[in-house]
Amino acid sequence: MDKNKIEQLRKIKQRLYLGGGIDRIEKQHAAGKLTARERLAFLYDEDSFQESNLFMRHRCSHFDMHEKEMPGEGVVTGVGMISGRPVYTASQDFTVAGGSVGEANAQKIHQVMDDALKTGDPFVFINDSGGARIQEGVDALSGYGGIFYRNVKLSGVVPQISIIAGPCAGGAAYSPALTDFIIQVRHEGQLFITGPNVIKQVTGEVISAEQLGGVDSHAYYSGVVHFVAENDREAIALTQRLLSFLPSNNLEDPPYYPPAGDYQIADDPSLNTIVPDDPKKAYDMRDVISRIVDSSDFLEIQEHFAPNILIGFARLLGRSIGVVANQPKVKAGVLDIDSSDKASRFIRFCNAFNIPIVTFVDVPGFMPGVDQEFGGIIRHGAKMLFAYSAATVPKITIIVRKAYGGAFLAMCSKDMGADRLYAWPSAEIAVMGAEGAVNVLYRKDLQDSDAPDELRNRLVREYKETFANPYIAAARGYIDDIIEPAETRSILSGSLEILKAKRELRPQKKHGLIPL
């Protein structure tokens, strides 16, 4: 072959690899961001990335687009290996037309998403874009429509992770919203539907872009974002860590990582004293979890949103588990609207991807309050019951302390399909707390009594002696065993080993109707 042809190919490719060119790359770096390709170099195992459609470019002729020198498209797409497993990606290239999404740009993204579905491999979308390409009008909208449609088709088949590494505004924000996990980079990542200017025009409210679409807004208040990263490198490292807990698709099991060093399932006597004697005293449920899982390695999700419940991934003897746990340190671990939403979504993710669910219970009940009732706690709390009941993966529940009322059921009691339910001796299982119960049961006696306080104290003590322990529930068969806290790790591991073979068939239907 004419060697000039080889030279020409090399030259064209080199030019395309530079995206928007040196100046724009420098601008990108000056803005604290890596380029689309640099991000992928960190994401993938060395030399494993296979790029697709490098040469593709727009065919728009409006607004002098045909005259603009535009090398390739504003997105790098392809597949590579992460810890030896294939993962597809679309990494928006802000140096080319601001990473804006037009017809060709979207087609590149559609193609990798279709490929991810074909081979059953996860999809990682790195967002850094000005949104729909304005010059391409309805073609740009259609392009986004195709992305959303595929996000939904992929949902529950392969894990989807979005990184918000730059702007992601307007309708574009709905692609990350349709994926399983969102990682937002502090400062550089911006995520909102309508920007500060529009909000000011429409409602008169004044807010900065950082306040509106930054990590604090989404990690603490909206709950849209699952992880905050300080920079691109950290976001990529988080993506890799997250993927290590997940199977490539819904037909596989998560990868097995035998624990280094702690193969023996030693008892941890410190667990026997971790729950304070005073039932009103708080403790950090994270201390319980970290003493039980492999290498104390717990990847907490949505750490700052609804912190009265903890969710996250860990491993037991090398196998992934999803952990759901009340956090007595915050609002006494009560279930409210946001914590119900947070946990239910996670339970459904674990179920879709064959990850057993381990639930730690210390819950005083559902949150009372007008705002909770008006906000629909009935609808949101019901999601917990729905998600647990519908989940067919192995489900193991440990009652650590309080398990009161409907919240006892909503934290996966045996009636909600828990395969094993264990209680620590500190467990208290009852319809409601002692004071409330005595007030209802003995209102008349207390009214008529000459010494109502004395009587109330005695009745509360009696109620507690009857119900503030796990023995009645165990006698009725609602608990499989009352265990020493120190043995929890070995008992959980043993149960999960047996439950690996669990098969549960449900009636065929299109889908259930979770109360959204």
Q: Which is nearer to ligand HXC, 156 or 170 (CB)?
A: 170
Give the active site residue among 137, 171, 375, 417.
Answer: 171
Give the active site residue among 156, 170, 223, 436.
Answer: 170
Q: Which is nearer to ligand HXC, 139 or 336 (CB)?
A: 139
237 is catalytic: no
SS3 per residue for 329-365: CCHHHCECHHHHHHHHHHHHHHHHCCCCEEEEEEECC
Q: What are phi and psi of 114, to 5 degrees?
A: -60, -40
417 is catalytic: no
> Rounded to the nearest whole angstrom, what is the least distance from the CB of residue 182 to ligand HXC in the complex?
17
Distance between CA atoms of residues 259 and 291, nearest Å: 14
Q: Which is nearer to ligand HXC, 134 or 237 (CB)?
A: 134
Q: Which is nearer to ligand HXC, 70 or 482 (CB)?
A: 70
Residue nearest to ligand HXC (CB): 130
406 is catalytic: yes
From the CA atom positions of the chain, what is the Rg in Å?
Answer: 27
> Rounded to the nearest whole angstrom, what is the least distance from the CB of residue 141 to ligand HXC in the complex?
6
Question: 139 to each of 60, 105, 129, how far by Cα in Å?
Answer: 9, 10, 17
> Rounded to the nearest whole angstrom, what is the least distance from the CB of residue 209 to ligand HXC in the complex?
8
Give the active site residue among 21, 120, 195, 406.
Answer: 406
Cα angle for residues 440, 456, 452 (degrees, 5° grid): 105
Cα angle for residues 420, 333, 377 (degrees, 5° grid): 95
Q: What is the DSSP letter of 403?
A: E
The two structure tokens encoding residue 354:
């064959």
Given its phi and psi angles, is residue 140 left (phi above 0), alpha (psi -120 to 50 degrees) or beta?
alpha
At 102, the amino acid letter reads G
DSSP H or E stretch at residue 319: strand 319-326
> Rounded to the nearest whole angstrom, what is the least distance from the CB of residue 170 to ligand HXC in the complex?
3
> Rounded to the nearest whole angstrom, what is the least distance from the CB of residue 143 to ligand HXC in the complex?
8
> Rounded to the nearest whole angstrom, what is the least distance from the CB of residue 432 to ligand HXC in the complex?
47
> Rounded to the nearest whole angstrom, what is the least distance from the CB of residue 11 to ligand HXC in the complex?
23
CB-CB neighbours of 473 under 10 Å = 23
Residues near ligand HXC, by CB under 6 A? 97-98, 100, 130-135, 141, 144, 167, 169-172
Q: Which is nearer to ligand HXC, 218 or 489 (CB)?
A: 218
Say which residues have a Cβ less than 8 Å from residue 195's Cβ, sequence separation at least 6: 169, 209, 212, 213
171 is catalytic: yes
Give the active site residue among 407, 418, 427, 468.
Answer: 407
Distance between CA atoms of residues 399 and 288, nearest Å: 12
- For the chain, the distance separating the N- and C-terminal CA atoms, rounded to the nearest angstrom, is 62
**Nearest of 404, 155, 113, 172 to residue 279 by alpha carbon:** 404
Q: Which is nearer to ligand HXC, 135 or 217 (CB)?
A: 135
At 66, the amino acid letter reads H
Task: Specify whether the CB–CB gap between 308 and 319 falls below 8 A.
Answer: no
Active site residues: 170-171, 406-407
